[in-house]
Chain A
């Protein structure tokens, strides 16, 4: 018996405290999700701020994607540029299950869920949880599992390929998924003049030859074998008419659990094994880490969460699930989040997900930005003052510089928005320019990203902010 096992036996914390500590965070996430759905969302909706609910949902879905990609690109140091493909796989899997499942069970594709999936905030006369919610939850999990299976397949080449070569494989996988979905039939629509969007993906009667008027009834869907469904997902035109189940409850729940799992991984022996691979593969393997197996495992776990995020995305209000939207562009958005946040930082990726999701919205509706430039200037002044005070106290000026920089950013964007408003330029169309600029600035000012591999909850992070300056140099 190894010394480790020997010591562990005498250090066991006991079952009850362990169970409490292990379950408590999960219960907390569940509680927060309930609160978001039953209190926060109605309050916002009553205040006419539905926009913020929608924003919040988008942000949290982006967060799940960014955190999951962090496990591959950040923890194990592989470079995947096809993460949106796992999202697409999860999205279409979940969509098929929910859409056709709804037809099977309810005869239509309307929302049949309880309060947890409700998009009508403040209602009280529905049950908490209905069977349709279970259908949605099951679909999310199935999407996650199918995506994880794909993650395994894509992870396999990483046994042999490194760096650029692996990146190309993931890119290829992303394109394959997109093209496969796009090439599914849309002919049902093309023929009929009077076809409504709801007809779009209906299955031709099983065994019958396809006729224009021969759209399928709920009974026919119920009798068609399951494997026929994926063929009728709208092809290049998109999979519309999906019921909107993605409520604040579900996104908060999924994002919270993703955060929790990522944190648990990173702070464990397995997490250190992941990080060691990124730091030095040869040393890692010499210390007994089965590098190839761990690389694949990172892909599988990341793909699982990306798949669930896809399921959430597919059932969001106002989203028409479309293969073109889940292509390389989307993968790139996720990479930007991970790189900005600092490759390997969970909290960094989460913060970057907020920024990257909000910024285009702000640019599109410049009023808010335009109004904020005085605050930016205030930040500049405050930051400059802070730097002076910190420096004279012989302390690290990091905090002051951060405030100064943020102020400059807000002021600059605000003035830009002001100008754009005056000359009626749509800044939203230039969002990729802004991201590119942000990346360039990041590479120059802070190449390790916002947080490097660290986390905002690390003690050393806060200690660094207020530390005494080690070297009495100028600067």
Chain B
């Protein structure tokens, strides 16, 4: 059996803000079908890692490859087109747009008709607009938001807003999906549902997933591989069982006496 192809490869990435070393010597490989976790205490540098992978920040040193393409310093929209989609820890929906339009926007990077074709209402424009609507409604259905398609995004309850962020990210047809604390603000019931949802998303959309999460129940049950950060450094990496029992991880989370 040949090895699954690597989608995202991070090698020796460093990033400092002034004197603060937010991320040091970060390494990560995500292959097709992976479901990995990225954990660590508050301020450990997890979100910064996402920002480095998606082009929001440029690494000081190190390499980031998406499907073999080097992307350090590339604009976020280029990286998105290569198949990296993300959600945001502090929800960033298009609040005044409808739920449907949020999902439809995610499809925009895959359209093939030109601006002029749009103004002239070409055949390709019309067929793609139909396909966009179709796809967006399907995605909202998967996330359980179809009933609220015409509501304003900002009027959704918190948990639904997180789901809409996932729908919007999936609309970009990503090869890897980065979820930044998807369970934050959800109640226990919703968290259980979220676990099932993430499994279904992986199966249905054939997308690899990297997940930042504070809720250990969610992470340990879902992820096959976990990377643990503390003060920007990777202190452990491996299967949930290994990571859970690593003394350095226990120390990072519980502190030393």
Contacts and interface: CB of A to CB of B under 8 A. Distances in A.
Contacts of A265: 118-119
A280 interface: yes
B76 interface: yes
Size bracket of the A interface: 35 or more
A121 to B, nearest CB: 33
Interface stretch (B7-15, B32-40, B85-93, B191-199): B85-93
Interface string B42-77: 000000000000101000000000000000000111
A4 B131 contact: yes
A287 B168 contact: yes
B172 to A, nearest CB: 6
A379 to B, nearest CB: 31
Nearest to A460: B150
B105 A272 contact: yes
A276 B105 contact: yes
Interface string A1-37: 0111101110111110010011000000000000000
Interface stretch (B94-102, B216-224, B228-236, B248-256): B94-102
Contacts of B111: 4, 269
A13 to B, nearest CB: 5
Majority secondary structure, B binding face: helix
Interface in B102-135: 104-112, 115, 118-132, 134-135
A276 B97 contact: yes
Contacts of B200: none
B126 A18 contact: yes
A27 to B, nearest CB: 13
Contacts of A18: 121-123, 126
Interface stretch (A46-54, A150-158, A288-296): A288-296
A288 B80 contact: yes
Given A2-B110, A5-B110, A286-B54, A21 B121 contact: yes
A187 interface: no
A7 B122 CA distance: 16
B97 A287 contact: no
B181 interface: no
Contacts of B173: 2-4
Contact of A7 (B56, B80, B135, B169): B135
A289 B128 CA distance: 17
A24 B143 CA distance: 39
Contacts of A273: 105, 108
A288 B108 contact: yes
B143 to A, nearest CB: 16
A8 B131 contact: yes
Interface string B155-195: 00000000000001101110000000000000000000000
Given A2-B110, A287-B106, A11 B130 contact: yes
A280 to B, nearest CB: 5
A458 to B, nearest CB: 10
A287 to B, nearest CB: 5
Interface residues of B, number: 50
A4 B119 contact: no
A453 B134 contact: no
Interface in A262-290: 264-265, 268-270, 272-273, 275-276, 279-280, 282-290
Interface in B194-217: none
Nearest to B125: A268
Contacts of A178: none
A270 B75 contact: no
A285 B97 contact: no
A297 interface: yes
Contacts of B101: 272, 275
A261 interface: yes
Given A18-B126, A283-B92, A7 B134 contact: yes
Given A4-B173, A269-B104, A279-B97, A287 B131 contact: no
Contacts of A268: 118, 125, 129
B21 interface: no
Given A5-B110, A7-B135, A285 B75 contact: yes
B5 interface: no
A460 B93 CA distance: 20
A4 B132 contact: yes
A452 interface: yes
A8 B128 contact: yes
Given A12-B127, A269-B132, A273-B105, A264 B118 contact: yes
A464 to B, nearest CB: 11
A452 B97 CA distance: 11
B127 A13 contact: yes
A288 B81 contact: yes
A4 B86 CA distance: 19
A7 B131 contact: yes
A287 B134 contact: no
Contact of B94 (A264, A279, A288): A279
B50 to A, nearest CB: 10
A15 B127 contact: no
Given A7-B135, A13-B126, A287-B80, A279 B108 contact: no
Contacts of A2: 110, 173
Contacts of A269: 104-105, 107-108, 111, 118, 128-129, 132
Nearest to A260: B119
Nearest to B115: A270
Contact of B127 (A9, A275, A283, A285): A9
Contacts of A272: 97, 101, 104-105, 108
A142 B134 CA distance: 41
Nearest to B123: A18
A286 B127 CA distance: 25
The 3 closest A-B CB pairs, nearest first, are: A288-B109, A279-B94, A288-B80
Interface of B: 54, 56, 75-77, 80-81, 85-86, 88, 92-97, 101, 104-112, 115, 118-132, 134-135, 150, 168-169, 171-173
Given A282-B92, A289-B108, 14 more contacts: A2-B110, A4-B111, A5-B112, A7-B134, A18-B121, A22-B122, A264-B119, A265-B119, A269-B128, A272-B104, A280-B93, A283-B88, A286-B77, A289-B109
19 contacts: A5-B128, A11-B134, A13-B123, A18-B126, A22-B121, A261-B119, A268-B118, A275-B96, A275-B97, A276-B94, A276-B105, A280-B92, A285-B77, A286-B76, A286-B85, A287-B108, A288-B81, A288-B172, A289-B108
Interface of A: 2-5, 7-9, 11-15, 18, 21-22, 261, 264-265, 268-270, 272-273, 275-276, 279-280, 282-291, 297, 344, 452-453, 460
